[in-house]
Structure 1
C-alpha cells in the first residue's frame, strides 16, 4: 500500500515554489523522496528556499517570471540542463490584486491573468515533451494546477482578476486533461484558506472570520496541501484526470460555519 502513494525517485517541477503553498508542496515532495525543481521571480528568494529545502533533498531553483512566454521557455531550457524527463508539473505560481471595482487597474488585471492562466498554459505545453518521456503505461506523468475555492465562491476581498483567473484554471484543467490523456493526467487542487504570506495581513485583521469559513475551524496545514498533491502525483490516482480537488476544510462543499461578521463568502488562498 505504501508504494501506491509513493513518489520516491520522481522528478517534479513546482512553480512559485519559494514561499507559501508552493513551498509547502515542494517540501512535501522532497520529504516523500522526489527531486524538485522550483521557480520564483526573485533570485534571492530562490537562493534562500534552495538552501532550506536542500537540507531535505535534491532541489534546484531558478529565477523566472512565468507571466512571460519567453521566461517559461527559458525555465524549461534550464530544467533540461539537469534532466530529460519530468514526472510531475505543479503549476502553482500565481498573483492576486485587490482594488475596488471602480478603480481596478488594467495593469493589475493583466498581471494576474498572464501569470495565473497563461503561465499555466505555457509551462504545460513547453514541458510536455519531458512529461511524455517520463510517462509509462501504468503510471502517466502528471500536471497539477493550483486553483482556489475562489473559482467557485464569491471572494471576501475585491480580487476580481484572481477569482476569474482561477475559474479559468479549472476549465483549462479539464481541457488539458482531455488533450493530454492517457499519457499525462491533468488535475487541479483548489485550496481554501492557508496561513501563507499572501494571507498574513488578512489573518491579522480577520482571523476568526477566515477560520470560520471552514467546517473544521482552522486554516490548512502544509501536510494538508502536500498530501493532496502527493496523492495526485502517485499511482493511487491513475484513474483520475480532469478533476478539481477542494482542500478547504469543507468551505466550498458544506458551506462555512457562521461566525460574527461572516459574510458567508469564499476566500483567496493560493
Structure 2
C-alpha cells in the first residue's frame, strides 16, 4: 500500500463549478496541491479569471466562466472544457445559491433560482459530462462530488425553504445517480459542509468566534478541512464510497439532534 498514491490526484483533470471563491476555491487549491489539472467555473468572468491567475502559482488552473443555472449555460461550459480536455476525471458540482424570506412572503423567484441551481444543474451538468467521465474511467474510477449542506441533513431555524429542500434533494439525487453510474466506473458521492467562511455564509466569515460557540468542535471549518474531504473522495482513497454524503461540520448536525 502506497499512502502517497492513495491520496494523489497526479495527472488527473478536475472541473469545479462555483470555483472562484469560498468552498469551491478551497477545493481547487487542494486538488492542485494533490497534482490535478484544475478548471474552475463561475458566473462572474472577472472573478473566475482572477482566481485562476492566483491559483496558477500552485499548479495548472484554467478559468471557464459560465452561468450553469440554465441548460444553455451547462452546454457552453461543457463545450469550453472540451477545448482543453478529451476526458474528465473529477467533476465537483459546487455552484449554488440561497434565499431567505418569511414563510408567508417566500417568492416563486426565490424558489426557482435556488432549486434550479442547487439540484437541477448538478444533474444536467453530470449528464452532459458523462461521456467524458466514462472516457477517463480506465485504470481508475472517475468521480462526481456533489456539494450539499448540513441544512439538507437536519433543520436550520432560518427560513431558507428552497435552500434546505434543494440540498436535501441533492443528497437523495446523489444516491440515485450513484446507483446508475457505478457500473460505468463513475463513483458519485457528496459532501455536506457546515460553517465555512464564504460569501454565502457571511456569519461564519464575519463572526467566526460567535459561530464557533455553537459548534461542538469549537471552530468553523478551514480550507484544509474542505480540501481534505474533497481529496479523499476524489482520490483512490475514496473509491469505495458510493452514494454516501460526507458530513464535514465539526459536529453541528449531531448537536441539532
Corresponding residue number in structure 2 for 1:66: 68
Structure 2 residue matching 1:14: 3-state secondary structure: strand
Corresponding residue number in structure 2 for 1:259: none
Corresponding residue number in structure 1 for 2:224: 223
Structure 1: which 5+ residue stretches go unaligned? 256-263, 266-270
Corresponding residue number in structure 2 for 1:181: 182
From the superposition, tell whether residues 206 and 102 of structure 1 become closer, same or farther in structure 2 (CA, over 3 Å). farther
Corresponding residue number in structure 1 for 2:164: 163
Corresponding residue number in structure 2 for 1:49: 51
Tell me how far 1:98 sits from its aligned partner: 0.8
User: Which of 75, 78, 81 pairs up with 1:79?
Assistant: 81
Tell me how far 1:102 sits from its aligned partner: 1.1
Q: For residues 66 and 209 of structure 2, what CA distance do their matches in structure 1 show? A: 33
Tell me how far 1:75 sits from its aligned partner: 0.3
Tell me how far 1:206 sits from its aligned partner: 8.0
User: Which of 195, 198, 208 pairs up with 2:197?
Assistant: 195
Please give the root-mean-square deviation of Cα atoms over the aligned residues, in Å: 1.5
Q: For residues 216 and 205 of structure 1, what CA distance do their matches in structure 2 show? A: 16
Tell me how far 1:157 sits from its aligned partner: 1.9
Q: For residues 89 and 208 of structure 2, what CA distance do their matches in structure 1 show? A: 39
Q: For residues 243 and 15 of structure 2, what CA distance do their matches in structure 1 show? A: 19
Q: For residues 134 and 205 of structure 2, what CA distance do their matches in structure 1 show? A: 41
Corresponding residue number in structure 2 for 1:93: 95
Corresponding residue number in structure 1 for 2:142: 141
- TM-score, normalization by structure 1: 0.90
Tell me how far 1:201 sits from its aligned partner: 4.5
Tell me how far 1:67 sits from its aligned partner: 1.0
Per-residue CA deviation, residues 52-73 of structure 1 (Å, 9 max, x unaligned), is 1111111111221111011101
Give the total of aligned pairs: 254
Structure 1 runs (4+) deviating above 3 angstroms are: 201-207
Q: For residues 9 and 214 of structure 1, what CA distance do their matches in structure 2 show? A: 37
Structure 2 residue matching 1:26: 3-state secondary structure: helix
Q: For residues 154 and 212 of structure 1, what CA distance do their matches in structure 2 show? A: 18
